[in-house]
Amino acid sequence: MMNSIPSTLPLSRLVTDMQESATLKMAKMARELKAQGKDVIDLSLGEPDFDTPVHIKEAAKKALDDGYTKYTPVNGLVELREAIVRKLARENDLQYTINQIVVSNGAKQSVYNLCMALLDPGDEVILPAPYWVSYYEIVKMAGGVPVIAYSSIEQDFKSSPDDIEALISDRTKFILYSSPCNPSGSVFSFEELRAMASMLQAYPHVIVVSDEIYEHINFTQNHHSMASMEGMKDRTVIINGMSKGFAMTGWRLGYTASPDWIAEACTKIQGQVTSGASSFGQKAAAVALDSDLTPTHDMVKAFHTRRDLIISLLEQIPLLLVNRPQGAFYIFPDVSAYFGRTSANGYHVSNADDMALYLLAEARVSTVSGGAFGNDKCIRLSYATSDAKLKDAAARIAQALSILN
């Protein structure tokens, strides 16, 4: 008798236990509805609606013509790592060597490299919530245990040093957060970071991973890195990348700046998983980092105006609690006052997941449930889109919420 191949081969526990990325899932649903001819406004995916500045695209084209079509060193072209070192010195007053920089295929891969390099099964990672969706799943993927520090809209979604300290254990490996924050847009001030650093002096085994990918999209004009706080540089890893500040999401370029031993470990992981990032993309990224930032500043001005617009529109909706983000291009309103209500057409909303699905079905606006970011009272809206679309989306959301009783 012939052995037949089962129709469904067993998948790994790792993938079956994993949540699909909620941001990418909502964006996919919006795309599919649009393909069916439905008029959907997509506020789910976090990416600038601007195109990559022309001089960066020209640099990539030139790099191709110049023959930059081969593998690069795993940790990145020397030329790009030198540009990153210059950027860190010029903009952040931080001194690194090129051996402390690892260029990856997006900041998402930087997070992955770090988790794989630093975590043993059972090691804990403190995630101040709301946190970026992928942190949670990547920590789990590496065998780590995410430990959540909850914070509410009343705290501007910022965990205090006491909140974090209460969660530190012998198994804590690192704290991982983004500032400016995805999804809340909150920004840690110098004083807040200093207080966190001061608390951490009593816990020398804890590393800080500071995701600064929204560094330039900061309406306070003041970006501070944990690496600049006294006593912290040797145990801080900075994550950054080209996606947000340079409108280069599709280019897949991120990087870390860290102590040598962590950079070496991340390079080792990346060498077995993907090798170096794209050669001509790296050449263009070096040009981007060394150039005048006027295109970035123009983009940030537009985000600032849109932030004010979306706040003013959402504040008019009864029962919605609206935060005042200081950076990134997200707003994270608390929608929990609507929980327990049912729409005129019978749709019951009992949590943030229901709310995101309800708004997609009823208002044809795609958002992301806060549940995926560790806060099940809120939803995330990306306002990286035109004023006209924001006005239309807010009107549709107001209408859909008004029929929940």
Q: Which residues form the interface with ligand GLU (CB under 6 A)? A: 21, 23-24, 45-47, 108, 133-134, 182
In whole angstroms, give the CA distance from residue 325 to residue 309.
12
Max distance between CA atoms of the chain, in angstroms, equals 73
- By a kind-dependent CB cut-off of 5 to 8 A, residue 21 interacts, out of ligand PMP, ligand GLU, none, with ligand GLU
Shortest Cβ 361–ligand PMP spacing (Å)? 26
CB nearer to ligand PMP: give 289 or 363: 289
- By a kind-dependent CB cut-off of 5 to 8 A, residue 24 interacts, out of ligand GLU, ligand PMP, none, with ligand GLU
The residue range among 154-162, 241-249, 260-268, 369-377 that interacts with ligand PMP, by the rule CB under 6 A, is: 241-249
- By a kind-dependent CB cut-off of 5 to 8 A, residue 313 interacts, out of ligand PMP, ligand GLU, none, with none
Strands 379-382 and 368-369: antiparallel
Interaction of residue 212 with ligand PMP, rule CB under 6 A: no
What is each CA distance from 381 to 124, 184, 237, in whole angstroms? 30, 9, 28
Interaction of residue 226 with ligand PMP, rule CB under 6 A: no
DSSP H helix total and E strand total for the chain: 13, 14
Q: Which H/E stretch holds residue 81?
A: helix 78-92
Interaction of residue 323 with ligand PMP, rule CB under 6 A: no
Interaction of residue 240 with ligand PMP, rule CB under 6 A: no
- By a kind-dependent CB cut-off of 5 to 8 A, residue 211 interacts, out of ligand GLU, ligand PMP, none, with ligand PMP
Q: Residue type at 330?
A: Y
CB nearer to ligand GLU: give 238 or 286: 238
Which residues make beta-bridge pairs with 124? 145, 172
Map the footprint of ligand PMP across residues 79-108, applying CB under 6 A. 106-108
Map the footprint of ligand PMP across residues 5-64, applying CB under 6 A. 46
Question: Looking at residue 21, what DSSP letter applies?
Answer: P
In whole angstroms, give the CA distance from residue 344 to residue 404.
7
Interaction of residue 295 with ligand PMP, rule CB under 6 A: no
Residue of closest CB approach to ligand GLU: 46
CB nearer to ligand PMP: give 132 or 280: 132
Shortest Cβ 239–ligand GLU spacing (Å)? 12
- By a kind-dependent CB cut-off of 5 to 8 A, residue 241 interacts, out of ligand PMP, ligand GLU, none, with ligand PMP
Interaction of residue 132 with ligand PMP, rule CB under 6 A: yes
Interaction of residue 76 with ligand PMP, rule CB under 6 A: no
Q: Which residue, chain included where needed, has tokens 């965990």?
A: 159
Map the footprint of ligand PMP across residues 182-201, applying CB under 6 A. 182
Q: What is the dihedral of CA 159, 165, 166, 172, to 10 degrees?
A: 110
CB nearer to ligand PMP: give 47 or 354: 47
Q: Angle 260-273/107-118 helices, nearest 10 degrees?
A: 110
CB nearer to ligand GLU: give 182 or 278: 182
Which residues make beta-bridge pairs with 379? 369
Interaction of residue 370 with ligand PMP, rule CB under 6 A: no
Residues ≥6 apart with Cβ < 8 Å to 335:
320, 352, 355, 377, 378, 379
Count of residues that bind ligand PMP according to CB under 6 A: 13
Exposure of 305 in the CB half-sphere (CA atoms within 13 A): 10
In whole angstroms, give the CA distance from residue 194 to residue 230.
8
Cβ-count burial 314-343 (b if 16+ within 10 Å, e if not): beebeebbbbebbbbbbbbbbbbebbebeb
- By a kind-dependent CB cut-off of 5 to 8 A, residue 189 interacts, out of ligand GLU, ligand PMP, none, with none
Q: The tokens of 385 are what?
A: 């889109």
Shortest Cβ 326–ligand GLU spacing (Å)? 18
Interaction of residue 178 with ligand PMP, rule CB under 6 A: yes
Q: Which residues bind ligand PMP (CB under 6 A)?
A: 46, 106-108, 132, 178, 182, 211, 213, 241, 243, 249, 254
